Structure 1
Amino acid sequence: MSVENVLELIKEKDIQFVDFRFVDLSGRAHHITLPASEVDGDTFVNGVAFDGSSIAGFRGIEESDMVMMPDTESIFVDPFTEHPTLNIMCNIFTPDGERYDRDPRSIAQKAEEYLQKSGVGTAAFFAPESEFFIFDDVRFESSMHTSFYSVDSDEAAWNTARKEEGGNLGFKIKVKGGYVPVAPVDTQQDIRSEMVRLLQESGLRVERHHHEVATAGQGEINFRFDTLTKTADNLMKYKYIIHNVARQYGKVATFMPKPLFGDNGSGMHVHQSIFDGDTPLFYEKGAYANLSQIALHYIGGILYHAPALIALTNPSTNSFKRLVPGYEAPVNLVFSKGNRSAAIRIPVAAVTPKGCRIEFRTPDSTANPYLAFAAMLLAGLDGIKRKIDPTALGYGPFDRNIYELSDEEKKEIRSVPGSLDEALDALEADSEFLTEGGVFSKDFIDNYVAFKRQEAKAVAIRVHPHEYSLYFDC
C-alpha cells in the first residue's frame, strides 16, 4: 500500500490516532501514538523518533536517539481502542539513516534478501502454530522472602471439588484430556471465535481453532502462511488480539511455554517451505514423504544447527521446562513423516505439491518471531548450500514412536540442549551460518547472548519454592 493510500484510508475510516510500533529483542511490541492530524507524507519519510536507551538490549544512553520508519504494508485498524486508531509496524534506523543491526524486523527482511541473492528461491513461507492458555486468575511473586505462582481456570482438572462456583457444574478437562472436546467440556468456544473474528477483520486468513491437549484452557488458532517478515508481523498481531480479547472476557491469555507442571506445554510449531516464483521447491513425487533433495538438505541444516538455533527459537528458561520427554515435546533431533515425536515432522495428509512443507516442532512463543524465522531460514539455506544429508548424519527418517523406545535406544538419538545456558553455549560455538550475507551481525549475536545470560542467571540464583519441599528439613 502506498503512502497516499494510507493517508486516504485515515480519512476514509475517520482515524483519529496512528500507532507506530516496533519490536524489542525479546519480541515484545512497543508503541508511540500520534494524532492523525500530525501524520502526513513527511512522517513516512522522516519517521518517528524514540529513546533507544529505554529499551532493554538496544542502545546506551550516550547514543539513545533512534528512528522508527513505518512500513505501509503492515497496517491494520486497532479493534480495541475507543478512539479509531491505525497500527503500523516499523523498522528501526539510526539518526544517520542506517538500518539498526539490532532491529529484529530488519534482520528478518535481510534474511529474505539473502534468500533471493542465494539463487535458491525467491520466497520462504512460514506458518506458526502458536498455542496458548486462557486462565481465569493468575498471581505470582518473587522477592527476598516470598516466591510463588498460582493460576486457576474454571476448566481445570484440580477444580472438580471446588465449592465457590455456587454448585460445581463438573465437566472439567482431565490432565492431557483437552484435545478438541465439545461443550460443555470446552468452555472457550465463543472466546476463540471472537478472537478469530477480530483476526479476520485485521487481515489474517484464519483456517481453524480448537481446544488443545492440556487442562485449564489451552487453545490454538491457526492462520494462513505468508512470507517471512509478513508472518512475523501477523504473529505479533495474533498475540496482541488474543491477549486483549481474553482481557475483554475478564480472563488472561499467556503464550508461556510451560505455565503448568505435569501437563502439556504450549509450543509454536513452524511450517516452512521455499518457492522459486510459483514453483514449490520442497516437493518431489514418490520420494520419501514426497520431499525433494532441496527439502532434505534444508532439514539437514536445521537439525545440524538445532542446538544453536534453539537459543533463538526457545529463548527462555521456561522453554526448557517444556522441552522434557513425556509431554509430546519435540526434544528428539530427527525427522519423520507424520510423527509428532520428532523435532521435524513432514505433514503427509491431504498435502498438494504447493502445500509440501516441513514442520519444525521444537520452537515456542517466547521466541522473537523475526529472529526465529530468520535463523531457521539461514540454517536451512546453509544445509542446502553445504548439501547436508540428514540421513547420513543419523537424523532419520525415524518413523517409530520415540517416546516408547528403551533408554538404550534413546541414547542413539541426539537431543535438544537441556537449558538456556547450554543453548547459548551452542550459539556462541556455532553462529557463522547466521552471519552469512550480513543478516545477523557479530555485535548482535554477542549482545543477544549477554542479554539472555542475564535472564538465565536471574532464575538460577533465586530460591525455588520446591527447594523447600526437598531441603527445608535437612
Structure 2
Amino acid sequence: MSVQKVLDTIKEKGIEWVDFRFTDIGGKSHHLSVPAVEVEAETFETGVAFDGSSITGFRGIEESDMVMMPDTDSAFVDPFTAHPTLVLLCDIYTPDGVRYDRDPRSIAVKAEEYLKTTGLGTDAYFAPESEFFIFDDVRYESGMNKSFYEVDSEEAAWNTGRKEEGGNLAFKTGVKGGYFPVAPTDTQQDIRSEMCRLLQEAGLRIERHHHEVATAGQGEINFRFSTLTKTADNLQKYKYIVQNVARQYGKVATFMPKPLFGDNGSGMHVHQSIFNDGNPLFYEKGAYANLSQMAIYYIGGILHHAPSLIALTNPSTNSFKRLVPGYEAPVNLVFSKGNRSAAVRIPIAAVTPKGCRIEFRTPDSTANPYLAFAAMLLAGLDGIKNKIDPTALGYGPLDKNIYELSDEEKKEIRSVPGSLEEALDALEANHSFLTESGVFTEDFIANFIELKRAEAKAVAIRVHPHEYSLYFGV
C-alpha cells in the first residue's frame, strides 16, 4: 500500500485517529495515537517521535529520543475503537536516521535482507500455529505473605459438580478431551468465528479454527503463511484481535504456554520454507519425506542450534512448564515425518511442492515473533551453509512414538534445555550464527540475556505455594 493509498483510506473510511505501534523486546505492542488530520505524506518521511527510555530494554534517559517509521503495508482499521482508528506498524530509528539495532521488527527485516545476500533464496515463508486459552475468570497475586493463581472456565473438567444459578448444564471438556468436539461441549465456536471475521478484515487469510486438546477453553486459529516480517506482523494482529474479541464476550484470552497443571499447554508450531523467485527449494520428490538436501541441512541447523535458539523461541520461565514429556510437548531434538513427538516434524499429508515445509514444534507464543522467526531462519541458513547433516549428528530421522521407546533408546536422544536459565546459558555460549550476518548484534544478545535472567531470578527467589504442601510440616 502506498502512502497516498493510506491517506485516501483515512478519508474514505472517516478515520479520526492513526495509531502508530511498535513491538518491544519482550514482544508486547505499544502505541501512540495521532489525530488523522495531522497525518500527512511528510509524516511517513519524518516518522513519529517517542521516548525510548520508558520502554524496557531500549535506551537510557540520556539518549531517549527515538522515531517510529510506519510501514504502509501493515495498515488495518482497528475493529475495537469507538472512534475510527487506522493502525500502522512501525520500525524504530534513532534521530539521525539509523535503524535501531534493538528494534525487533528491524531485526526481522534485516534477516530477510540477509537471506537475499546469501544467494540461497529470495524469500523465507513462515506460518505459526499459535494456541491460546479462553477463560471466564482469572485471578492471581504474588506478595510477601501470599501467592496464588486461580482460573476458571465454564467448560472446564473441574466444573462437572459445580452448582450454578439455573443449574449446571454439563457437557464439560475432559482433560485432554478437547480435540475437537462439537457443541454443546465446544462452547466457543461463535467466539472463534468472530475472531476469524475480524482477522480477515485486518488482512489475514484464515484457513481454519478449532478447539484444542486441553480442557477449559483451549483453541487455535490457523492463518495463511507469508514472508517472515509479514507473518510476524500478522501474529501481532492475531494476538491483539483474539484478546480483544474475548474481552468483548466477557472472557479473557491468554497465550501463556502452561496456565494449567496436568493438561496440554499452548505451543506455537512454526512451519517454514525457502523459495527462490517463486520456486520452492525444500521439495525433492522421492527423497525422505520429499525433502530436498537443502531442507535437511536447514533442519540440521535448527536442531544443532536448538539449545540456544530456544532462549528466543521459548523465552519465559513458564515455557519450561510446557516442555516436559507426556503432553505432546516436543522436547526431543530429532526430526521425523508426521511424528508430533519430535521437535522438527515434516508434514506429509496433502503436501504439494510449494507446500513442502518443515515444522519446528518447540516454540510458544511468549516468543517475540520478529526475533524468533529471524533466529530460526539464521539457524537454518547456518545449517545450509555449513552442510550440517542432522542424521550424521544423531538427530534422526526417528519415525517412532518417542514416548513409547525404552529407557535405553531414550538415552540416545538429546532434549531441549530444562529451564530458561539453561537456555540463556546456551545462547550466551553459542550465538555467532545470529551475529555473524549482522542481523543480531552482540549488544542485543547481551541485553536480551540480561533482561531474561532478571525474569528467571524473579521467579526463582519467590516462595511457591506447592512448597507449603511439600515442606511446611517438616
The TM-score bracket by the shorter chain reads over 0.9
Counterparts of 1:8-27 in structure 2, within 5 Å, are: 8-27=8-27
Counterparts of 1:61-72 in structure 2, within 5 Å, are: 61-72=61-72
SS at match of 1:388: coil
Could you tell me which residue of structure 1 aligns to residue 183 of structure 2?
183
Comparing 398-407 and 314-323, the one that deviates more:
398-407
Could you tell me which residue of structure 2 aligns to residue 233 of structure 1?
233
Runs of 4+ in 1 over 6 A off after TM superposition: none
Could you tell me which residue of structure 1 aligns to residue 358 of structure 2?
358
Q: CA offsets, 1:277-324, max 9 Å, x none?
A: 111000000000000000000000000000000000000000000000
Q: CA offsets, 1:43-90, max 9 Å, x none?
A: 111111111110001111111111000110100000000010000000
Alignment partner of 1:377 is 2:377: yes
Could you tell me which residue of structure 2 aligns to residue 343 of structure 1?
343
Counterparts of 1:67-216 in structure 2, within 5 Å, are: 67-216=67-216
Q: Give the residue type in structure 1 aligned to 2:262.
A: G
Counterparts of 1:170-319 in structure 2, within 5 Å, are: 170-319=170-319
Q: Give the residue type in structure 1 aligned to 2:26.
A: S
Could you tell me which residue of structure 1 aligns to residue 449 of structure 2?
449
Q: Give the residue type in structure 1 aligned to 2:231.
A: T
Provide the C-alpha distance between the structure 1 equivalents of 2:51 and 2:110, rounded to a whole number of angstroms: 24
SS at match of 1:192: helix
Could you tell me which residue of structure 1 aligns to residue 50 of structure 2?
50
Unaligned runs of 5+ in 2: none
Q: Give the residue type in structure 2 aligned to 1:440.
A: F
Shift of 1:121: 0.2
Q: Give the residue type in structure 2 aligned to 1:370.
A: Y
Q: Give the residue type in structure 2 aligned to 1:346.
A: I
SS at match of 2:436: helix
Aligned residues: 474
Could you tell me which residue of structure 2 aligns to residue 322 of structure 1?
322
Q: Give the residue type in structure 2 aligned to 1:443.
A: D
Shift of 1:405: 1.2
SS at match of 1:99: coil
Q: Give the residue type in structure 2 aligned to 1:156.
A: A
Shift of 1:108: 0.1
Provide the C-alpha distance between the structure 2 equivalents of 1:431 and 1:143, rounded to a whole number of angstroms: 36
Provide the C-alpha distance between the structure 1 equivalents of 2:45 and 2:18, rounded to a whole number of angstroms: 15
Could you tell me which residue of structure 1 aligns to residue 390 of structure 2?
390
Could you tell me which residue of structure 1 aligns to residue 419 of structure 2?
419
Q: CA offsets, 1:195-253, max 9 Å, x none?
A: 00000111100000000000000000000000000000000000000000000000000
Q: Give the residue type in structure 1 aligned to 2:339.
A: N
Provide the C-alpha distance between the structure 1 equivalents of 2:423 and 2:211, rounded to a whole number of angstroms: 31
Provide the C-alpha distance between the structure 1 equivalents of 2:292 and 2:370, rounded to a whole number of angstroms: 26
Unaligned runs of 5+ in 1: none
SS at match of 1:343: strand
Q: Give the residue type in structure 1 aligned to 2:338.
A: G
Shift of 1:42: 1.2
Provide the C-alpha distance between the structure 2 equivalents of 1:470 and 1:408, rounded to a whole number of angstroms: 31
Could you tell me which residue of structure 2 aligns to residue 33 of structure 1?
33
Q: Give the residue type in structure 2 aligned to 1:330.
A: P
Provide the C-alpha distance between the structure 1 equivalents of 2:158 and 2:13, rounded to a whole number of angstroms: 48
Shift of 1:165: 4.2
Provide the C-alpha distance between the structure 2 equivalents of 1:91 and 1:287, rounded to a whole number of angstroms: 41
SS at match of 2:10: helix
Q: Give the residue type in structure 1 aligned to 2:304.
A: Y
CA RMSD of aligned residues (A): 0.5
SS at match of 1:439: coil
User: Identity over the aligned pairs, expressed in percent?
Assistant: 82
Shift of 1:4: 1.0
Provide the C-alpha distance between the structure 2 equivalents of 1:204 and 1:461, rounded to a whole number of angstroms: 42
Q: Give the residue type in structure 2 aligned to 1:176.
A: K
TM-score, scaled to structure 1:
1.00
Q: CA offsets, 1:342-379, max 9 Å, x none?
A: 00000000000000000000000000000000000000
Shift of 1:409: 1.4
Q: Give the residue type in structure 2 aligned to 1:361.
A: R
Provide the C-alpha distance between the structure 2 equivalents of 1:17 and 1:202, rounded to a whole number of angstroms: 17
Could you tell me which residue of structure 2 aligns to residue 431 of structure 1?
431
Shift of 1:407: 2.0
SS at match of 1:470: helix
Q: Give the residue type in structure 1 aligned to 2:245.
A: V
